[in-house]
Structure 1
Amino acid sequence: MRYLTLIFCLFCWQFSAAQTFTYPKLTAQGNDINSLTPTNWNVIDTAFGDLNNDKLEDLVLVLEFNNSIIEKRAYGDGETELIKEFQKPRILAVYFKDTRSGKYKFALQNNNFILRSQEGGELGEPFKNLTIQNNSLNLAFEGGSNWRWKLNYQFKYQNKDWVLIQANNIYYNITSGEMTDKLYDFVNRKMKLITGNIFARNNANEVSEETINYSQLRTLNNFKKPWTWEITKDNFL
């Protein structure tokens, strides 16, 4: 009887948490990572580097909520707009280093783009890392099972927005090595397609290039999450 009561209480707590959860508004500024981390949230990755070309080291955080809740998430099949998932929410946060005060000042909060821990299929955790290189924010994801996928995104801060300038989508079989590798250059509207074997990338792989058409560059404000942009028919990024 005690066991059943405990299960019932846990269910009620989870249901209540799902009903009352709201994303926090991140603090406007702080001296360090601890001062920028909301209550009940954990930092799962960080990166330091210059994002706004002022020669100062900015800060990027990936935050995860302590508890699982029911989230409505975008799905990339072109038909289902939202699906319900029970998981821990995540936030991508960017802070610029201020020249005068030396503090980190708020620049971006994105509650959707970082994949959750259960969105990588059988492989498990899909979020691999974030880095800052050449004034760009880079995000890497990986998932699948026997057939695996890798997604890499490069965002640049331009005209007060976070623009997707490059991306890479690799799909391959871990046994045979059969591979499709798509490299996107959104600034020049080009896609390089490499097909062949991932274990012998420099031997007999076929390479082609094509122009890609889209109405506007995607940004962290209008790109819901990985796998939701259908660039061409049945070709999702």
Structure 2
Amino acid sequence: MKLVLFFLAFQTAVYAQNFKYPTLPNQGKSLATIVPGNWKVLDSISGDLNHDQLTDFAFIMEYHKEIRESRAYGDNTTEIITEIQKPRILAVYFKRADGDGYQIGVQNNNFILRSAEGGTMGDPLRPLKIDSNKLVLSFEGGGDWRWKLNYAFKYQDKNWFLEKANNRYYNETSGEMTDKKYDFILKKRLVTTGKTHNRDAANETVSQDFPLKNLRTFHSFKKPWTWEIGPDEFL
């Protein structure tokens, strides 16, 4: 009995550690000089992200051990769930015009899904992409019913705005599928329903107006699945 109590106390001590996210340096010479101790880089990509014709870079890193972490679900505020998992950080650094290293463009501690947030498919994180100067974040998960999420953020006026997104969910066995593509600049949504194995012509696609007052940013859109766009519709 004493051994069990000791083990439980030990586990509590490990997960109740006084963890704090590091503040990444404002400037750096390279990726290797920026990543703090006890963190490892999971993925990185290079390209022009602020329209200055210089090569910037973005990366995702993960802490070396699990902690107790509170994560937003549902509507960002009322549903907060505490989980034991390894924290992740997204960071972007812009190439300095004078060629002297890089300047931080963003540090985000919330948006990247953790390794256990993909359901039975495992780690939901998919490779970073840069498309037309936009940073594209991708995730995939689920079980019999699977989902794929893509978010394209553009850097403008010293902020990161969500311009496009894609939410695709489908049944692995039947092939039943719904694919929603959002263009927040044009305020349009394309909804395709049908089967994953069909040709495009065999599926049905409709275009819908999507009224939106303000573009979402990393600040106003905390993490995937927390934006309730409409009744029973989350992004």
User: Which bracket does the TM-score occupy, shorter chain normalised?
Assistant: over 0.9
Q: Does the aligned pair in 2 maintain the 1:214–1:231 contact within 8 Å?
A: no
Q: Does the aligned pair in 1 maintain the 2:27–2:101 contact within 8 Å?
A: yes
Q: Percent identity?
A: 51
Answer with 138-147 or 192-201: which moved more: 192-201
Answer with 72-81 or 142-151: which moved more: 72-81
- State the alpha-carbon separation in 2 of the partners of residues 199 and 79 from structure 1: 39
Per-residue CA deviation, residues 15-35 of structure 1 (Å, 9 max, x unaligned), is 342xx0111100111111110
Per-residue deviation, 1:201: 3.8
Aligned with 1:118 (options 116, 119, 141) = 116
- State the alpha-carbon separation in 1 of the partners of residues 124 and 186 from structure 2: 29
Match for residue 156 of structure 1?
154
The letter of the residue matching 2:33 is S
Equivalent pairs counted in the alignment come to 235
Q: Does the aligned pair in 1 maintain the 2:184–2:212 contact within 8 Å?
A: no
Per-residue deviation, 1:64: 0.5
The letter of the residue matching 1:7 is F
- Judging changes above 3 Å, is the alpha-carbon distance between structure 1 residues 40 and 185 closer, same or farther for their aligned structure 2 residues? same
Match for residue 132 of structure 1?
130
The letter of the residue matching 2:196 is I
Per-residue CA deviation, residues 171-218 of structure 1 (Å, 9 max, x unaligned), is 100111100000000001000000001111424100101111233110
The letter of the residue matching 2:30 is D
- State the alpha-carbon separation in 1 of the partners of residues 191 and 132 from structure 2: 24
- State the alpha-carbon separation in 1 of the partners of residues 166 and 62 from structure 2: 25
Match for residue 223 of structure 1?
221
Per-residue deviation, 1:51: 0.4
In the alignment, does 2:14 pair up with 1:14? yes
- Runs of 5+ unmatched residues, structure 1: none
Per-residue deviation, 1:75: 0.5
- Judging changes above 3 Å, is the alpha-carbon distance between structure 1 residues 101 and 10 closer, same or farther for their aligned structure 2 residues? farther
Per-residue deviation, 1:97: 0.5
Match for residue 233 of structure 1?
231
Q: Does the aligned pair in 1 maintain the 2:49–2:133 contact within 8 Å?
A: yes
The letter of the residue matching 1:182 is K
Report the 3-state secondary structure (helix = DSSP H, G, I; strand = E; otherwise coil) of the residue aligned with 2:197: helix
Q: Does the aligned pair in 2 maintain the 1:68–1:86 contact within 8 Å?
A: yes
Match for residue 29 of structure 1?
27
**Equivalent residue runs for 1:197-216 within 5 Å:** 197-216=195-214
The letter of the residue matching 2:223 is K
- State the alpha-carbon separation in 1 of the partners of residues 206 and 116 from structure 2: 34
Match for residue 52 of structure 2?
54
- Judging changes above 3 Å, is the alpha-carbon distance between structure 1 residues 137 and 177 closer, same or farther for their aligned structure 2 residues? same
Q: With structure 2 as the length reference, what TM-score do the two structures score?
A: 0.94
Per-residue deviation, 1:101: 3.5
Q: With structure 1 as the length reference, what TM-score do the two structures score?
A: 0.93
Match for residue 183 of structure 1?
181
Q: Does the aligned pair in 2 maintain the 1:49–1:133 contact within 8 Å?
A: no
